[in-house]
A and B are shown apart, each in its own frame.
Chain A
Amino acid sequence: MSYQFNWSVLWSGQSGGWLLQGLLTTLELSALAWVLAAALGITSGAMRTVPWRPLRALATLYVEFFRNVPLLVWMFFWYFGVPPLLPMTIREWLFDHEAEFWAAMFALGVYHGARMAEVIRSGIQSIPRTQFEASVAMGLTTFQAYRLIIVPIALRLIVPPATNESLNLLKNSSVALTISVAELTFQTRQIETYTAKAIEALTAGTLIYLVLCVGIATVMARVERRFAIPGLIARGG
């Protein structure tokens, strides 16, 4: 093997700035998409368990369709397929304001919202049915019972799988490079193109992802212990 290592390409020239920008874009994209995914996931996850069929059917349709199609296809669909159908003014505004970023954010959020919905649904279904019956017996409406009792308990139960799913979202944000969003993987490749030092560039990108994922997982393990409901979750048992 005659590969010449030259790690200094990572801090000489523009590489350092590119990596930092890529990291910031990845975090921004993931954070916005996460908010959308959490909102869609909680709503549709809860809707899948309500005792009213049309709402259940609507949520099931959303979850089953968006979850079962590759994220890459959704990226292309939202970036190339949808804008031509929008009114001229919106389209022009979008292409002046980083359309690829918003398409990627939307694709990530809607796709992971469907996956998050499954996590939340299983959380709700693990709560004894009597909780819901008791709240309704106390005079709460179904909506109030979900908002005040069921969803808050479910959110505390699902911290581990929801963390897992959030990390999947962060890692999947790398797919946005296919529609040329300048996130971390995109910048890693750019460094490789400019310096022809593939191993160094890929190592830098990989390490950043690893540190992000391991860091978030460690923090969330603490959060999980803090929010565990005594008596409901047996930890380490």
Chain B
Amino acid sequence: MLDLSVLVNNFRFLVVQGLLGLGGFTGGTLRLAIPAIVLGFLLGIFVGLARLARARWISVPATLYVEFFRGVPLVMVIFWIWFIVPQLLRVPIPEYGVALAAFVIFEAAYFGEIVRAGIQSVPRGQVEAATAVGLTRAQTMRFVVLPQAIRNMVPSLVTQMIVLFKDTSLASIIGYVDLTKAAQIVNNREIRPFELYLFIAVVYWVCTYSMSRVARRFERRPA
């Protein structure tokens, strides 16, 4: 009853193109996930620092940004960008651009919260000591607070990266050919939903589980 030949025959399309995005092909889960993680984290650092800023005209908008995006579904954000940006710019945006923009903007709110919590986890006395030694505010951040904060952030950062990696499957809703969409395309031709969807579940699982294993090793090293 279980027909595994459908997986063998379409392995190249599913894994090489759908997951990795290789082979002169626009698509791929990793090609979307890696830039989304990097850019989302970078924007998240700014959001997190902005939330802690003393000036209210910086911290209030940053707080609103975080609260807004944490209160709406990602699917909604993807549709916003998909419908609105082409209307504003009067140029068609490829699915890749829409999906990447949506993930970066959405996940920056979550990364921002992690950065903020990480910075706040550094004891206040550290900052006072650094100031007493004669460091400027920027130097205190750069040499004292951030190195400790980043270590404290590692577990939540990895969890969020895994969440983002799984979320990239939602790009298939607007037609971006990632692993999920690739399975849908094959299924439309072969009608083997059980095998195909279970297979991509295992592929996603291997990726996310290995991410969490690598992270656990990192967590142990710095005390």
Which residue numbers of A lie inside 8 Å of B, CB to CB? 1, 3, 64-65, 68-74, 76-77, 80-82, 84-85, 171-175, 177-178, 185, 188-189, 192, 198-199, 202, 205-206, 209-210, 213-214
Contacts and interface: CB of A to CB of B under 8 A. Distances in A.
Interchain residue pairs A-B with the least CB separation, the first 9: A80-B193, A198-B83, A70-B169, A174-B73, A81-B194, A213-B71, A68-B208, A70-B166, A171-B73
A206 B67 CA distance: 13
B204 A202 contact: no
B209 A209 contact: no
Contact of A185 (B76, B84, B87, B209): B76
A85 B3 CA distance: 13
Q: Chain A contact residues: over half helix, strand or loop, or mixed?
A: helix
Contacts of A206: 72, 76, 80
A81 B194 CA distance: 4
A77 B68 contact: no
Contacts of B197: 73, 76-77, 80-81
Interface in B144-174: 162, 166-167, 169-170, 172-173
B87 A73 contact: no
Interface of B: 67-68, 70-76, 79-80, 83-84, 87-88, 162, 166-167, 169-170, 172-173, 180, 183-184, 187, 193-194, 196-198, 200-201, 204-205, 208-209, 212
Contact of A177 (B75, B88, B208): B75
Contacts of A192: 83
Contacts of B200: 73
Nearest to B82: A198
Nearest to B196: A81
Given A69-B201, A70-B166, A198-B87, A84 B72 contact: no
A82 B194 contact: yes
A185 B180 contact: no
A174 B78 CA distance: 12
Given A69-B204, A76-B184, A174 B194 contact: no
A68 B201 CA distance: 9
Given A80-B193, A174-B74, A209-B76, 7 more contacts: A72-B180, A77-B194, A81-B196, A82-B194, A198-B84, A206-B72, A214-B71
Contacts of B196: 81
A1 B80 contact: no
A192 B76 CA distance: 13
Nearest to B197: A77
A108 to B, nearest CB: 12
A76 B67 CA distance: 30
A81 B198 contact: yes
A3, A69, A178, A214: most-surrounded residue (chain B CB, <10 A) = A69
A200 to B, nearest CB: 11
Nearest to A78: B197
Contacts of B167: 70
A21 to B, nearest CB: 17
B169 A77 contact: no
B207 to A, nearest CB: 8
Contacts of A76: 180, 183-184, 193, 197
Contact of A77 (B67, B75, B201): B201
B83 A70 contact: no
B211 to A, nearest CB: 9
Contacts of B204: 68-70, 73
Contact of A202 (B80, B88, B173): B80
Contacts of A77: 193-194, 197-198, 201
A64 B208 CA distance: 10
A209 B72 contact: yes
A222 B171 CA distance: 37
Nearest to B68: A210
A16 B194 CA distance: 38
A78 to B, nearest CB: 9
A224 B167 CA distance: 30
A209 B201 contact: no
18 contacts: A68-B205, A68-B209, A69-B201, A70-B204, A72-B169, A77-B201, A80-B193, A84-B193, A84-B194, A174-B73, A174-B75, A175-B75, A202-B80, A202-B83, A205-B76, A209-B71, A214-B67, A214-B71
